[in-house]
């Protein structure tokens, strides 16, 4: 299985590549998002800021949107999850809009949200083996879906509950970093890849 990993040109993707490979995938890092659709699945990583990343996706946004809505498997991680929404308070730019809703800044005393936190999941293939897991976060923004049914996992930080994971058809987004979350995170990646194989 080949995973197309989109490189927004702003960060190191090494740990995510290694985690996907440990999960059994071959990884092609693509700076052109269109080429990522030639793989078996798409991964949008959690590196960078919303505006510049949305700009990198813009030329291929229509094709990406159509592919994901037609069932092409995809996983968005942190910023990658946020790009699956319509827009963000962080900066101008249009997301893919797979999930209706916006991304807003965390309204907590301490921002960014850095470190380990519990993730509590509803029944979903991504969390079949670990409905409760401790995962690593590094975020100042959270997604606010318009459809509560899109949320498949939540976390609480500083008194605020927010979506830790969302799903619509074969598109998932996770706000945490599975590639930095040890064995629990690797289980999430393996579960995604198992869904790709189906």
Q: 188-198: per-residue pLDDT in tens?
A: 999 999 999 98
Alpha helices (runs of H) in 70-172, residue ranges in sequence order: 79-82
Task: Let me know if 147 is a catalytic residue.
Answer: no
Distance linking the first and last C-alpha atoms of the chain = 11
Q: Report yes or no: 137 and 117 within 8 Å, Cβ to Cβ.
A: yes
Q: Which of 14, 30, 78, 89 is catalytic?
A: 78
The pLDDT confidence band at residue 9, using thresholds 50, 70 and 90, is: confident
- For residue 129, what are its two tokens? 């083996």
pLDDT at position 12, please?
A: 80
- The secondary structure of 80-101 as a DSSP string is HHHTTSSEESSSS-----SSSE
pLDDT at position 10, please?
A: 76
Half-sphere exposure of 86 (CA within 13 A, CB side): 8
pLDDT at position 6, please?
A: 97
Residue 31 has pLDDT above 80, yes or no: yes
Helix crossing, 61-69 with 50-58: angle to 10°?
90
Q: Which of 30, 90, 113, 177 is catalytic?
A: 177
Q: Which of 30, 90, 113, 179 is catalytic?
A: 179
pLDDT at position 107, please?
A: 96
- Condensed to tens digits (0 to 9), the pLDDT of residues 116-171 reads 999 999 999 999 989 999 999 999 999 999 999 999 999 999 999 999 999 999 99
CATH number at residue 148: 3.40.50.880
- For residue 56, what are its two tokens? 């990198």
What are 173's strand-pairing partners? Answer: 76, 166
Q: How many structural domains does the chain have? A: 1
pLDDT at position 47, please?
A: 84
Residue 175 has pLDDT above 90, yes or no: yes
Task: Let me know if 14 is a catalytic residue.
Answer: no
Alpha helices (runs of H) in 91-148, residue ranges in sequence order: none
- For residue 114, what are its two tokens? 């850095």
Residues 6+ apart with CB under 8 A from 34: 59, 60, 63
Average the pLDDT over 160-183 and give the result: 97
For residue 171, the surrounding DSSP H or E stretch is strand 171-174
- Condensed to tens digits (0 to 9), the pLDDT of residues 81-94 reads 999 999 999 999 99
Q: Which domain holds residue 18?
A: 2-197
Is the entire prediction scored with pTM above 0.85? yes
pLDDT at position 101, please?
A: 98
Average the pLDDT over 74-87 and give the result: 98
Cα separation, 31 vs 169, whole angstroms:
26
Q: Report yes or no: 138 and 177 within 8 Å, Cβ to Cβ.
A: yes
């Amino acid at each position: 299985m080949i995973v197309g990993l989109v490189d927004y040109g702003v960060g190191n993707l090494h740990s995510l590549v290694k985690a996907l490979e440990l999960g059994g995938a071959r990884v092609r890092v693509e700076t052109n998002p269109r080429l990522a659709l030639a793989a078996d699945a798409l991964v949008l990583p959690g590196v960078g800021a919303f505006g510049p990343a949305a700009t990198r996706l813009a030329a291929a946004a229509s094709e990406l949107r159509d592919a994901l809505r037609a069932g092409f498997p995809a996983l968005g991680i942190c910023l990658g999850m946020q790009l699956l929404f319509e827009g963000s308070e962080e900066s101008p730019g249009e997301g893919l809009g797979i999930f209706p809703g916006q991304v807003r800044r965390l309204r907590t005393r301490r921002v960014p949200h850095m470190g380990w936190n519990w993730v509590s999941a509803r029944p979903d293939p991504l969390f079949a083996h670990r409905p409760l897991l401790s995962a690593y976060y590094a975020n100042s923004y959270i997604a606010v879906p318009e459809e509560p049914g899109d949320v498949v996992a939540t976390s609480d930080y500083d008194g605020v509950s927010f979506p830790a994971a969302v799903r619509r058809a074969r598109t998932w987004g996770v706000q945490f970093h599975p590639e930095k979350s040890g064995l629990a995170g690797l289980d999430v990646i393996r579960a995604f890849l198992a869904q790709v194989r189906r």
